[in-house]
Amino acid sequence: DAMVIQNPRYQVTQFGKPVTLSCSQTLNHNVMYWYQQKSSQAPKLLFHYYDKDFNNEADTPDNFQSRRPNTSFCFLDIRSPGLGDAAMYLCATSRDLPGGEGETQYFGPGTRLLVL
Amino acid sequence: RKEVEQDPGPFNVPEGATVAFNCTYSNSASQSFFWYRQDCRKEPKLLMSVYSSGNEDGRFTAQLNRASQYISLLIRDSKLSDSATYLCVVQYNFNKFYFGSGTKLNVKP
């Protein structure tokens, strides 16, 4: 059974046209992440939610926003996609453990974004 | 300086070979360590966590050296199906996970 679901798997958008990617999870994990991964590069953390607390990475462009309306769902909004935003977008979840140690992350299959 | 550094490879090895990857990390406060496997155009999947005492899972052995701030992955008796990119992941600052850019492995018949 899928535990972290991302829709759509492939998304084509036009330069400057807002796009929303979605992620849902059945694990009831309190932490959810969005990563951007370009070819042959490491996944780059954009932001994460600890429950409802939003944590933005310092170098994440303002063009990227996120919403987490409840525990199960998290959205990535790209307000004005540029050609450089074409990438795989990965959603992940994890369960926070006492003491600050991180349990492993569980990844969704990703959404591949193409900007025309 | 990158948080996590890996040799990008590729490592081209014949079936049955033993291959080792290393990964260094910069933050001495790092708390948890993992190796992930990523197939082409797929999401990363956990291969194994890495513990201070070292741990083994079948043909895979992971080691952690906190003093030198590196972790390693050893794959014995390589199979064709082991061909993938191996990502080193380090966690600190509670919920933040940092990825290396991956080491590509090609196992050839």
Cβ–Cβ below 8 Å for B94 and A94? no
B2-52: pLDDT as tens digits: 789 998 889 999 999 999 999 999 988 888 899 999 999 899 999 998 988
Cβ–Cβ below 8 Å for A48 and B95? yes
Query: What integer pLDDT is reported at residue A96 of this predicted model?
Result: 74
Q: Provide, as residue numbers in chain B, all residues whose Cβ is less than 8 Å from the Cβ of A74.
A: none
Q: What does the DSSP 8-state code read for residue A44?
A: E
Query: What integer pLDDT is reported at residue B108 of this predicted model?
Result: 96
Alpha-helical regions (H) of chain A = none
Q: What does the DSSP 8-state code read for residue A110?
A: -
Query: What integer pLDDT is reported at residue A101 of this predicted model?
Result: 56
CA distance A102 to chain B (A): 6
Query: What integer pLDDT is reported at residue A95 of this predicted model?
Result: 84
Query: Tokens at residue A96, please?
Result: 């926070």
Q: Provide, as residue numbers in chain B, all residues whose Cβ is less than 8 Å from the Cβ of A96.
A: 94-95
Chain B residues 8-37 with a CB less than 8 Å from chain A? 8, 31-32, 34
B80-101: pLDDT as tens digits: 999 999 999 998 776 788 899 9
Query: What integer pLDDT is reported at residue A104 of this predicted model?
Result: 81
| Spatial contact of A25 and A4, defined as CB atoms under 8 Å apart | yes
Q: Provide, as residue numbers in chain B, all residues whose Cβ is less than 8 Å from the Cβ of A112.
A: 41
The percent of residues in chain A predicted with pLDDT above 90, rounded, is 80
**Structure-token match 């453990």, residue found:** A97
Q: How far apart are CA B20 and CA A92, in angstroms?
A: 27
Q: Provide, as residue numbers in chain B, all residues whose Cβ is less than 8 Å from the Cβ of A56.
A: none
Compute the Cα dihedral for A36, A67, A63, A9 and give only its sign: positive
Cβ–Cβ below 8 Å for B43 and A110? yes
What contacts 24+ positions apart, CB below 8 Å, involve B54-61? B60/B35
Average pLDDT over residues A21-45: 93
Q: Provide, as residue numbers in chain A, all residues whose Cβ is less than 8 Å from the Cβ of B43.
A: 90, 107-110
- pLDDT-derived band at A2 (thresholds 50, 70, 90) equals low
Q: Which residues pair with B82 in a beta bridge?
A: none
Strands A106-107 and B103-108: unpaired
Q: How far apart are CA B7 and CA B20, in angstroms?
A: 11
Nearest-by-CA chain A residue for B88: A42
B45-84: pLDDT as tens digits: 999 989 888 889 999 999 999 999 999 999 999 999 999 9
* Averaged pLDDT score across all residues of chain A: 91
Query: Tokens at residue B54, please?
Result: 């070292």
Q: Which residues pair with A111 in a beta bridge?
A: A89
Nearest-by-CA chain A residue for B100: A42
Query: What integer pLDDT is reported at residue B29 of this predicted model?
Result: 84
A61-101: pLDDT as tens digits: 999 999 999 999 999 999 999 999 999 999 999 887 655 55
C-alpha distances (whole Å) from B78 to each of A41, B16, B105 are 24, 5, 10
Tell me whether B100 touches chain A (CB under 8 Å).
yes
Q: Cβ contacts of residue A91 below 8 Å, gap of 6+? A: A4, A6, A21, A23, A25, A32, A33, A34, A35, A74, A76, A107, A108, A110
Burial (CB count within 10 angstroms: exposed 0-12, middle 13-18, buried 19+), residue B95: buried
- pLDDT-derived band at A1 (thresholds 50, 70, 90) equals low
